[in-house]
A and B are shown apart, each in its own frame.
Chain A
Amino acid sequence: MSDIRLEGVSKRYGAVAAADEVDLAVAQGEFVTILGPSGSGKTTLLSLIAGLNRPTAGRIFIGGRDVTDAPAQQRNIGLVFQSYALFPHMTVLENVLFPLGVRGIGGAAARTQALDALKLVRLDGLQDRRPSQLSGGQQQRVALARSIVFKPDILLLDEPLGALDRKLREELQVELKQLQRSLGVTTLLVTHDQEEALSLSDRIMVLDKGRTQQVAAPAEAYLRPANRFVAEFLGIANFVGLADGRTGLVRPERVRVGPTGINGGRPARVVETIYLGQMVRYHLALQGGEDSPVVAALPFVGKAFAAGDEVAVSWDTADIWPVP
């Protein structure tokens, strides 16, 4: 049984469709990411599910209940914004107590529950601070604690890590994933960061111009994108012409690069060499062909080609995905 179900959900502003007949089913406990460039309609979709907005067409079900016309406060949803949206006039604890208070939970029980939630996001001891006295990462944890403390049916995260620096973001990604798994709460995350989407989600939904492009597991979408947009949006895409006239996709990890004349690859010249730590990335220009420049990503083992080197480039036919 699916916990969130969208059936032909549309949101139109005049002639512009921010969401265009979107269908989606998210299973109980599943972590699904809505991924798309800015303006793709992903935040609109989230606000429709949260009840901050009404769709112009379609139905929305949460836990099997049709909530299309229910106001936000009746949906029992935990919502986390990129801007944290903490109440600045309340302490950390008061923020976390807020959803309990409106549910009529008070006193020691509420306090225990709130402190537990804060412990869960590793903020114990900071409950009497004001949001303005916390770092960005800490504030986001408060927002997270506030959105899970009342045991919501589903958790909606709108670019929750977008305002944080890279290192902190990666740390929090791990924590978020662990937290989600331990709570088992159905979670929908909105992001434009494809790495974040690939690393966190059970499935991703790629959105462009309000339309669903693909819904699939991360590896599936990465290696077998449903179309050229998904191929290009999820990482680096090498496109090659196929014999039947179609276009094939080869991901950089599947491209082999070696010295010329060893295993009969196509001759190419290294345009740029980029070190990425464990990996090294080559931007290559194939010689004598009309194919687009090729990017290859190889494990870095202490020695690499330099820009200007002549090399041989090859890939397995099995690694080519004909883009539909």
Chain B
Amino acid sequence: MNRSTGFAFIAPLLVLMVVAFNLPIIYMLGLAFWDKGRGFTLEHYEGLLEAPVYLRVLGNTLRISLIATIANVAIGYPLAHWMRGLGRRARLIAIALVVLPFWVSILVRTYAWIVVLGNGGLVNRSLQWLGLTDAPVQFLYNELGVTIGMANVLLPFLVLPLFAAMIRIDDRLLQAAASLGAPPRTIFWKVYFPLTLPALAAGTLLVFILCLGFYVTPAVLGGGRVPMISNLLDTLINQIPRWEQASAISTILLIVALVIFAGYRRLDRKASA
């Protein structure tokens, strides 16, 4: 099949993608610049600058997303590495356990954390029973709760690509490194880790960008005290409504995501060059 017939095959799909996904986005982004009757305007962006509270919410969102992403990596990387070392059967079970939450409603999972981490939850009761704490530890309704919840919900997005990359690493590479005299620490940092880095970067990026748009988990586990941009957008779209303002914020959010992605691409290209 030559190049042009190949293109002919995917052309309808491409058109569908552009119409179904991109046009609405362009329309949405355009809202911030175009006023019915008055034409082009920048007032909605000016509005953002005048009332920096929305930008501060965006900044808060970036910060929480970063924390949640770091937590995700701190848990996900060792987990994926541990799974790599398992036997075939145990590995299958581990994958199933990691993927299982995908099929559970995000709301149910989020509420499940209340049962586990609440003041009268499993963890706090155990801590008090063991005599480690006197009063319940406040795990929920703060940034810690949001971080825990987001890390849990997004963990598969990091673990699965990472695990796939890790099992592709030939054991003989590690054996070769050992035979060449490298101690385990050197083998990990000089051979194993660099080989998982592309998948780690891609997974981290995915998790971070998903964090930016998180809605349910911060609202429930954050107890409403962790303002995230998607909650603000919901208010601006469904309650006030100021679609133009929402559009301006979304545009900034999109630019942030694109900048991060561009940075990732640059690193990726440098790494594979």
| Interface of A toward B, CB cutoff 8 Å | 47, 50-52, 71-79, 81, 83, 85, 87-89, 98-99, 102-103, 146-147, 150, 156
Contact = CB atoms under 8 A, between A and B. Distances in A.
Given A50-B175, A156-B179, 16 more contacts: A47-B175, A50-B179, A51-B178, A52-B175, A72-B179, A73-B178, A73-B183, A74-B181, A75-B179, A79-B179, A81-B175, A85-B175, A89-B195, A102-B186, A146-B180, A147-B180
B79 interface: no
B170 interface: yes
B191 A52 contact: no
B182 A73 contact: yes
B270 interface: no
A99 B177 CA distance: 8
A79 B195 CA distance: 21
A147 B181 CA distance: 10
A77 B179 contact: yes
Contacts of B173: 85, 87
Given A83-B172, A102-B186, A72 B178 contact: yes
20 contacts: A50-B179, A72-B175, A72-B178, A73-B178, A73-B179, A73-B182, A73-B183, A78-B179, A85-B170, A85-B175, A87-B191, A89-B195, A89-B271, A98-B190, A99-B181, A102-B180, A102-B181, A102-B182, A150-B180, A150-B181
Residue among A47, A73, A79, A99 with most chain B CB within 10 A:
A73
A88 B192 CA distance: 11
Given A73-B183, A98-B190, A102-B186, A85 B172 contact: yes
A85 B183 contact: no
Contacts of A102: 180-183, 186
A50 to B, nearest CB: 5
9 closest residue pairs by CB, A with B: A85-B176, A79-B179, A99-B180, A72-B178, A85-B172, A102-B182, A89-B194, A102-B181, A73-B181
Interface in B146-184: 170, 172-173, 175-183
B198 to A, nearest CB: 9
Contacts of B186: 102
B90 to A, nearest CB: 19
A76 B176 contact: no
Nearest to B169: A88
